């Protein structure tokens, strides 16, 4: 029993060729699943049924994120740019809009809801993203060929 | 000359042709350049601006910089571009255009958003997507 548990935990910690332990792939898949379920519940009703004059840019962007999260369940590492994008735009929002509006006290009516959803992402994404893998593959790796 | 052109356009034993990589990089460059005016507004916006739209554009801008160096690894962002713009076109753009009742910025958005699914569809290396995202076996489960 103990040896089974030990071998399971060894398997979870072992890294394949991508240098990412198995538990990390599960964490990533859990994040995509959270997007599939949480973002889906929030965004699909808005896309399906909305005011005839709604501009629809934000719901469409989020709906695109939702649809591609399904691919992330199958290919969590290959779809990392999607999570990097999540982290990037939410950080941009927090720095350029969220925090300044928080401190100034001048806030749009949607502020509380946006702050909760976006700050959650800014805290969660850095914990989920395998930064070593990102560093090796998206920074240090040789660029795709130029000639 | 012909040999050089053939080398540029043929995939050979590579994942995609060099020509395709340049087209993808050109689109990334277009993104970096075209979205920059929005980036500038991040530093100076109306105090009550909701900002979600601008922040999303800001995130895409950062991803476009990565795509200059790694166009193939950043394919998910191109797929995202195509998917969200198609969603917009199907759920908002086209119904509003046909009904004649739409958002005040409909005609502007039809050009800046509605045309792009076609452009992006021409840029995406579909063979590569097929091999690496559809028929590829899923990443490890155990």
Q: What is the ipTM of this complex?
A: 0.89
Average pLDDT of chain B, as a whole number: 90
pLDDT category, A147, cuts 50, 70, 90? confident
Token code pair at residue A77 = 């590492």
User: Residue B141: its chain A contacts at CB < 8 A?
Assistant: 25
Residue among B79, B103, B82, B80 nearest B92 (CA): B103
CA distance A39 to A61: 11
pLDDT at B7 over 80: no
**Distance (Å) from the alpha carbon of A103 to chain B's nearest alpha carbon:** 11
Chain B residues 51-70 within an 8 A CB cutoff of chain A = 51-56, 58-60, 62-63, 66, 69-70
In chain B, % of residues over pLDDT 70: 99
pLDDT category, A14, cuts 50, 70, 90? low
Token code pair at residue B124 = 């995406």
Interface with chain B: mutation pick from A19, A42, A57, highest number of B CBs within 10 Å: A57
pLDDT at A8 over 70: no
- DSSP H or E run through A93: helix A80-93
8 Å CB contact of A82 and B42: no
> Other CB atoms closer than 10 Å to residue A141's CB: what's the count?
12
User: Residue A82: its chain B contacts at CB < 8 A?
Assistant: 76-77, 80
User: Residue B108: its chain A contacts at CB < 8 A?
Assistant: none
User: What values do phi and psi take at B50, rounded to 5?
Assistant: -65, -40
In chain A, % of residues over pLDDT 70: 90
User: What values do phi and psi take at B70, rounded to 5?
Assistant: -125, 70
| A106-111 contact pairs (CB < 8 A, 24+) | A106/B47, A106/B48, A107/B48, A108/B48, A108/B49, A108/B50, A110/B50, A111/B50
Residue of B nearest to A74 (CA): B138
User: Residue A61: its chain B contacts at CB < 8 A?
Assistant: 53, 56, 84
**Distance (Å) from the alpha carbon of A126 to chain B's nearest alpha carbon:** 15
Average pLDDT over residues A41-48: 93
CB-closest option in B14, B43, B139 to A77: B139
pLDDT at A80 over 70: yes
Q: Angle, to 10 degrees, between the axis of helix B36-43 and the axis of helix B52-69?
A: 130
Residue of B nearest to A80 (CA): B76
Region of B51 (left: φ > 0; alpha: ψ -120 to 50; beta: rest) is left
**Distance (Å) from the alpha carbon of B92 to chain A's nearest alpha carbon:** 6
Handedness of CA B99, B103, B104, B109 (dihedral sign): negative
pLDDT digits (tens, 9 = 90+) for B57-110: 999 999 999 999 999 999 999 999 999 999 999 999 999 999 988 888 898 889
């Amino acid at each position: 029993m103990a040896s089974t548990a030990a071998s399971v935990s060894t398997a979870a910690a072992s890294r394949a060729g991508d240098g990412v332990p198995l538990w990390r792939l599960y964490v990533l898949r859990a994040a995509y699943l959270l997007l599939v379920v949480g973002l889906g519940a929030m965004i699909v009703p808005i896309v399906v049924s909305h005011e005839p004059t709604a501009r629809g840019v934000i719901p469409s962007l989020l709906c695109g994120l939702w649809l591609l999260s399904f691919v992330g369940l199958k290919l969590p590492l290959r779809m990392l740019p999607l999570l990097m994008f999540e982290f990037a735009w939410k950080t941009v929002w927090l720095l350029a809009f969220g925090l300044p509006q928080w401190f100034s006290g001048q806030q749009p009516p949607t502020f509380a809801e946006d702050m909760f959803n976006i700050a959650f992402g800014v805290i969660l994404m850095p914990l989920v993203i395998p930064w070593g893998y990102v560093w090796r593959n998206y920074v240090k790796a040789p660029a795709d060929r130029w000639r | 000359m012909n040999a050089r052109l053939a080398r540029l356009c043929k995939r050979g034993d590579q994942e995609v042709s060099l020509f395709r990589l340049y087209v993808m990089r050109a689109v990334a460059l277009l993104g970096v350049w075209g979205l920059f005016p929005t980036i500038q507004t991040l530093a100076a916006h109306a105090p009550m601006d909701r900002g979600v739209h601008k922040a999303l554009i800001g995130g895409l801008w950062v991803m476009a910089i990565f795509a200059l160096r790694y166009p193939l690894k950043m394919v998910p962002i191109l797929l995202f571009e195509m998917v969200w713009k198609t969603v917009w076109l199907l759920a908002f753009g086209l119904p509003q255009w046909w009904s004649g009742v739409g958002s005040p910025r409909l005609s502007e958005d039809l050009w800046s958003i509605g045309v792009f699914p076609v452009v992006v569809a021409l840029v995406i290396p579909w063979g590569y997507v097929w091999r690496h995202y559809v028929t590829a076996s899923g990443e490890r489960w155990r």
